[in-house]
Amino acid sequence: MELSVFYAPDILPDSQTYTMNEDTSKYCIQVLRHETGDQVGLADGKGHKFTATITDDNRKRCMVSITAMETIPAVSPSRSIAIAFTKNAGRIEWFLEKATEIGIETIIPLVSHRSEKDKIKPERLNSILVSAMLQSQQFYLPVLEAPQSFEHIIKTNKTAQRFIAHCLPEQKQSLVEAIKPGEDAIILIGPEGDFTAAEIQMALQAGYIPVTLGNTRLRTETAGMVAVTLMASTLNK
């Protein structure tokens, strides 16, 4: 049977013992009904996978003794996405869950001219990332950055391959054709009303490659998910 893996954000790579926080203890002991002596897994979200034995099945402060630690190699090249957050919080939360499952390193909430939302709830969103990381059996937690303006991203981001997906009827390649395996990549996904022509111009001047994600008109969160899927399937060939 597969080991239940719990999130342990403050464990150190050389820790010998660890005490789960109250929420995790409750989930481990009350919900999953683990007991002293059971073997469990722990993930710090930074690439370390721990195997441990429960030494005290306290439902508020579950204690474990670490028996093994393994370092999981990071995915390379790195994949980043800067995406306009939708007014409907459910849609962007869904995107965060799916992007994490499929595999993404960095997510930047993008504030552009037509963005509908420029505030986020980092705690709630991070808990979605943690659940999706554990669910999909990964050991690196995606980084959810603070919201950044379009202009700031264009001026400061130096990722090797930079893409912008937009809907204007201009010359564009498909992302799959444009992307080169083996190099770090970032893609910008605009709000429901798309990027403005001025924003697209600014990105092109900064070396961004304009791309399309297919032949249909996609919602913002769908475009984000398609971009993450295509980056995952092409970058690590």
Contact residues: its own copies, CB under 8 A: 75, 94, 98, 101-103, 135-138, 174, 176, 214-219, 222, 225-226, 229-230, 232-234, 236
Nearer of residues 47 and 56 to its own copies, judged by Cβ: 47
Residue placing its CB nearer to its own copies in the complex, 155 or 180? 180
Could you tell me the smallest distance in angstroms from the CB atom of residue 178 to its own copies? 12
What's the min distance (Å) between Cβ of 102 and its own copies?
6
Nearer to its own copies, 203 or 225 (CB): 225
Of 44 and 194, nearer to its own copies (C-beta) is: 194
Residue with tokens 């957050």, as numbered in its chain: 85
Measured distance CA(149)–CA(170) in Å, rounded: 24
Residue-wise burial string across 147-184, b where 16 or more C-beta atoms lie within 10 A, e elsewhere: bbebeebbeebebebbbbbbbeeeebeebeebbeeeeb
Cis, peptide link before residue 77, omega less than 30° from 0: yes
Task: Work out how close the CB of 32 gets to its own copies at its nearest, in angstroms, rounded to a whole number.
Answer: 16
Identify the DSSP state of 28: I
CB of 99 to its own copies, least distance (A): 10
